[in-house]
Chains A and B, each alone.
Chain A
Amino acid sequence: MSDLLDLLESPDEQDLRSGVRDMLAAECPWQTVLSFVSEGAEAYDAKLWRTVATGMGLAGLLVPESQGGAGAQWRAAAIVVEELGRAVAPVPFVSSAVVATTALGSSDEPSLLGRLASGELTAALAVPYGLWSAPTLLSVVDGAVTGTVRGVADALGAGLLLVPADDGLYAVDGAAVRRTRVLSLDETRPLADLEFRAAPARLVGSLSAVPCALRAAATMTAAEQIGLASWCLDETVGYLKERYQFGRPVGSFQALKHRLADLWVELTQARAVVAYAAADLAAGAADGRVAASLAKIVGSEVAVRAAEECVQMHGGIGFTWEHPAHLYLKRAKATAVAYGSPDRHRARLATLVDLPLEES
């Protein structure tokens, strides 16, 4: 059945892609990202987020129209995320507009979705960035939550934290939580340690939405990884055409050409897998868990390899702070850990497709 999913982009989807790409080319060149990282004070690029969230109306992409959103499908979200990944854009789109929004999917409080859709409020799911299964970490006593959660992505600037606790999903005002910035590998997406000390919490949804949110997170992170890998490939190809050594453009040497051809093959395949996983999420197809794990594995592997090759093939300049390659390397490695490393997803997949290590 799943083979019937359409893996090609529609004209509308192509328009969405070029619209987002053009906006990011104008508003988010890598020099902007580099100064954001170097200054290191902000939770995210607030000006860029306004453009993405409100200007282009993307914060509510996945929110139903009845609640003020665009009611778009996952395929559209994957395209937006891919383009944001291409630009290593420091905005909380994945955390707020994808993961938190999905976690709130069955919320009893639709007004929250409306506020997220408008971009006035951002939210983060209060789980470690690398979490891949969905345990409940905290407890609620008399309407207040206590405990700590380490390494939460985009939590620093989130107005609202969504806390999976005991018997449900709770909303906690960001200001009521002690948030400590973590000096993290990827400063384009800062992490924070959260300390809840009897923070007032109200029940906003059921826990059953959390695994769905994490599955969507894995697929959308893979889309982000495709975007950043394709930037790395394009940038490297461009550089190797211009850089001369031994009297020839470096890109004419077979030793480098073959590596880039292999990278292109890997990226082409990852693109097909992510298209499949996004279409699969959109269709709510039964193969969803397999597709999400597949996407996260191939996305993580191609992103890390593309970024590593980009650094290497740029030679000395690729190893410097002033060249943007390191922004992509850090984002690639961090997203490989995010929402389950490839190794964790292979372990999950082994169970899903009946290839267990141990005899059952």
Chain B
Amino acid sequence: MAEPITEADLRERISAFLADHDPAGDRLAFLRARFDAGLAWVHFPVGLGGLAAGRALQPVADDAFAAAGAPDNRPSRIGIGLGMAAPTILVHGTDAQRTRFLRPLWTGEEVWCQLFSEPGAGSDLAGLATRARRDGDGWLLDGQKVWTSMAHVARWAILLARTDPDVPKHAGLTFFVLDMTAPGVEVRPLRQLTGEAEFNEVYLTGVRVPDEHRLGDVGAGWKVAQTTLMNERVSIGGGALPREGGMIGVLARAWREQPAVRTPGMHDTVMRLWVRAEAARLTGLRVRQQLAAGAPGPDGSAVKLSFATLNQQISAAELDLRGDEGLRRDSWAMSRPDDVDFTGRDTGYRYLRAKGNSIEGGTSEVLRNIIAERVLGLPAEPRVDTRVAWKDLPR
């Protein structure tokens, strides 16, 4: 085994790379070269954009490139690809799939979306009904997906479909990569309570998927999806923020800037939220240290759950604090934003958008069940669906 890459090695490689490649030159060429040099995601294998280094070194690379004025790969736009598709393809993909998909994913040439949820299968994800039937050397897909961020700009999707309705629901699923430009894929905007269409509905009608775009074994889709979902929970609310870096900073600024609206009751609320936001931030810091040390624990689920609750409480308090001013919105127009802006926009947007935080990426209720059963080891709720063929379940 080769010696692990040290921080000094990495800095040396980056300096050498920057000496050869002009950060102010062609954006795409620069990003492709950075990937090929193994400086994209340093913990990935050599040849797939990485150096097989420790995760902890990634911020070193990102900071060094940012300091050199290098273009980034717009991580907020390609967040689903980076946070969910890439780790899943890395673990469960074939060499051909890894080689084909990871480079344009990382450079942002190809945007990814995730086709898991359905109108009839949200929290009960394994109950999904989208069918994939064998068709020669490929598969034919029929069904409907929902809550799909980025589907309108995505080139590829990761998709979970039912390949065997005659077995219990978790056993009959298979994981695919779907070409979003294939005939039979229809994307419709789904307008949300913010007025925006950040999400979509995706209709699949006789969509053909070649078998080489299957990820993992037939019937092993649930296992593959666990990799995706675990990585999703780690990535949600997992960013490194300074103190007052998130939504709490907006509330704190509102408090400082408007002495006239201060009341003792609101002061108590602001201070309680400030403390909880700081506790959540330090928990996130500890989670990242655990990840970097190669010892990921269950603490990440605490981060996601508290992030949702806190965002909702902070944005609600901010609306109360601003009073009449908080009622003024910047727009009700239907737009199709690439990312969610929790610290920009207006107070009403923050309040409304935060309502999604306890639903997207796993509802808070399901997350509490997961913590109770998998972390604390409490007995499961009685289940009526684990031994029954999916086709015989009431729905």
Contact = CB atoms under 8 A, between A and B. Distances in A.
A31 to B, nearest CB: 25
Interface string A1-41: 00100111000000000000000000000000000000000
B268 A359 contact: no
Contacts of A7: 282, 285-286, 289
Given A346-B271, A346-B275, A252 B381 contact: yes
Given A273-B279, A346-B275, A355 B368 contact: no
Contacts of B274: 349, 353, 355
A23 to B, nearest CB: 26
A269 B279 contact: yes
Interface residues of B, number: 46
Interface of B: 240, 242, 252, 255-256, 259, 262, 264, 267-268, 270-272, 274-276, 278-280, 282-283, 285-286, 289-290, 293, 295, 299, 302, 305-306, 365, 367-369, 371-373, 375-382
Nearest to B262: A357
A197 interface: no
A56 interface: no
A275 B275 contact: no
Interface string A338-360: 00000000100110011101110
A272 B283 contact: yes
Q: Which A-B residue pairs are the 9 nearest by beta carbons?
A: A257-B372, A261-B368, A261-B371, A359-B259, A252-B379, A251-B378, A272-B283, A269-B279, A268-B302
Contacts, number: 124
A262 interface: yes
A355 B286 contact: no
Interface residues of A, number: 41
Given A237-B377, A252-B381, A355-B274, A276 B282 contact: yes
Nearest to B371: A261
Given A258-B372, A264-B302, A272 B285 contact: yes
Contact of B378 (A237, A270, A276, A355): A237
Nearest to A234: B376
Given A268-B302, A272-B282, 13 more contacts: A6-B289, A7-B286, A248-B379, A252-B379, A252-B380, A257-B378, A262-B305, A264-B375, A269-B302, A272-B279, A297-B275, A346-B268, A355-B255
A346 B289 contact: no
Given A252-B381, A260-B372, A265 B305 contact: yes
Interface in A306-360: 346, 349-350, 353-355, 357-359
B256 A261 contact: no
A358 B293 CA distance: 45
A270 B299 CA distance: 12
Most chain A C-beta atoms within 10 Å of own C-beta, residue among B256, B290, B299, B379: B379
A8 B270 contact: no
Given A346-B272, A355-B271, A269 B379 contact: no
A275 to B, nearest CB: 7
A272 B276 CA distance: 12
